[in-house]
Amino acid sequence: MTGAGVTRIGGREFRWGQRPFVMGIINVTPDSFSGDGLACDVGAAVARAQEMEAAGADILDIGGESTRPGSAPITADEELGRVLPALERIVAAVKVPVSIDTYKVEVARRAVAAGASLINDVWGLKQDPALARVAAEAGVPLVVMHNQRGTCYVDLVAEVLASLRWSLGRAEEAGVPLENLIVDPGIGFGKTLEHNLELMRRLRELRSLGRPVLLGTSRKSMIGLVLGLPPDQRMEGTAATVALGIAGGADIVRVHDVAPMVRVCRMADAIVRGYSTLR
């Protein structure tokens, strides 16, 4: 894990390098790739948030637009109509920080005003660099993920690192403090199966960026392709990627199945860092 200092998210201190943190996924979409979309069922979203908090989630990440391959983009108004009712209720119902998963400026701005304390941008500021100004003005941390259209690379890891450095630079130029920045290699985004597996093998190289690393592999097609299983049968594959990701230096793991992945994190971390640090 990185020695990237401390980031305050929603009033809580996240001390990077002490242990891995778990981010629970709440999709308020009708077309999630993983089959867990809650559409406009606010009550179900709140119940899931409370279950995840009780199971040990450190952060909850709410998203209103599917990122599955072939999904149609939606407008900011449509996305706000999905996320705001759930976000407002969830922020009031849980004590852990809540993140907004969006690349749209207006969605991020309204979500932060409604209580979101982290912005998770799957385009790493490449869709709209102004998103960084929202984070800077609100004083909330920002996750920048590597993403691109197409899967052509000459040197995969070097290009992912260069892209993330660009995102970090744009964020700092907009006024986001370095301690408020988190990087994500973007497993499953603009990458083939072999690319994803190589990134997993070489995850530790992201430490050169000096920022905490968020890893999102939960139920991804990488697992489905290797095991030949649909999304709802990929828990063991997800567990393998989470454990190996922690061994490779991941600071946050973004998952659908919080309770079992909290246990995986605890066991993996006991091996990587030593059991005495967990007591």
Question: Looking at residue 265, which CATH number applies to its domain?
Answer: 3.20.20.20
Please indicate, yes or no, if residue 174 is contained in any of the structural domains.
yes
What are the residue numbers of the active site? 220, 254
Please choose, from the candidates 163, 164, 113, the residue with its C-alpha nearest in 3D space to the C-alpha of residue 134.
113
Mean pLDDT of 140-149: 97
Total-model pTM: 0.94
Mean pLDDT of 24-44: 74
Average pLDDT, the chain: 93
* H helices present in the chain, as ranges: 42-55, 76-93, 105-113, 131-138, 156-173, 193-201, 221-227, 235-247, 258-273
Please indicate, yes or no, if residue 5 is contained in any of the structural domains.
no
Please indicate, yes or no, if residue 101 is contained in any of the structural domains.
yes
Please indicate, yes or no, if residue 234 is contained in any of the structural domains.
yes
Count of structural domains, the chain: 1
**Contact present, 221 and 188 (Cβ < 8 Å):** yes
**Contact present, 9 and 59 (Cβ < 8 Å):** yes
pLDDT given at position 30: 78
Range of 143's domain?
Answer: 20-271
Q: Which residues contact 275 (CB under 8 A, 6 or more apart)?
A: none
Please choose, from the candidates 206, 202, 144, 204, the residue with its C-alpha nearest in 3D space to the C-alpha of residue 178.
144
Lowest-confidence range among 16-25, 35-44, 54-63, 222-231?
A: 35-44
Please indicate, yes or no, if residue 91 is contained in any of the structural domains.
yes
3 has pLDDT over 70: no
* Tens-digit pLDDT profile for residues 184-234: 999 999 999 999 999 999 999 999 999 999 999 999 999 999 999 999 999
Please indicate, yes or no, if residue 177 is contained in any of the structural domains.
yes
Residue 138 corresponds to which tokens in the numbers above? 């609100």
Q: Which residues pair with 118 in a beta bridge?
A: 99
Please indicate, yes or no, if residue 36 is contained in any of the structural domains.
yes
Dihedral angle of Cα 142, 146, 149, 150, to the nearest 10 degrees: -170
Please indicate, yes or no, if residue 55 is contained in any of the structural domains.
yes
- The Cα angle at residue 256 between residues 228 and 48, in degrees rounded to 5: 140
Helix (H) or strand (E) holding 215: strand 214-215
